[in-house]
Amino acid sequence: MPDASDRPTVLLLNGPNLNLLGRRDPAHYGSTTLADIERRVTDLGAELGARVRCAQSNHEGELVDLVHGAAGLDGIVINPGAFAHYSIALRDAVDAVDTPCVEVHISNVYAREEFRHTSVTAPVMQGYIAGCGVVGYELGLRAVLARAAEAANAR
């Protein structure tokens, strides 16, 4: 296995209200906590030879700053939560960094309220996963690492 400095690094970023996972609306989001998700994705990252940094914020500007700070990383897996539906600032931040980014939603947003059917952030992502439950985060990690590898091979 390569030493830590040679391993790809991915930011796992969660938006508003996702700190309440496990308690908030279990019919849509299940009983898994954010800490459980972070542990699962970090463990999978280690199995795949990658480091995973985890962050969550309920504040749009902080999420924008975290995306900007991930510009030198190998990828971002992001669940923007409700910001997916209206945050042009978050969309522009993702678009501004040259880092593969995959958007994840736990629930099938298309089976929910009409306002959830539109994501302003999705068009600037390299992948989009919805409705797979918390496994979507693991799929997102695999996808972003594959995109990062493709980008590295193209250089």
Residue list for the binding site: 79, 85, 92, 106-107, 116
Q: Which of 68, 86, 105, 137 does the annotation list as catalytic?
A: 105
Are residues 117 and 111 in contact, defined by beta-carbon separation less than 8 angstroms? no
SS3 69: helix
* Binding-site residues for substrate: 79, 85, 92, 106-107, 116
- Residues 33 and 56: their CA atoms lie apart, in Å, by 13
Phi-psi region of 126 (alpha: psi -120 to 50; beta: other; left: phi over 0): alpha
Phi-psi region of 81 (alpha: psi -120 to 50; beta: other; left: phi over 0): left
Q: Which of 29, 68, 86, 117 does the annotation list as catalytic?
A: 29
DSSP string, 118-135: --SSGGGSSEEEESSTTH
**Which residue blocks in 49-134 are alpha helix, DSSP H?**
60-69, 88-96
Is 105 a known active-site residue?
yes
Active site residues: 29, 105
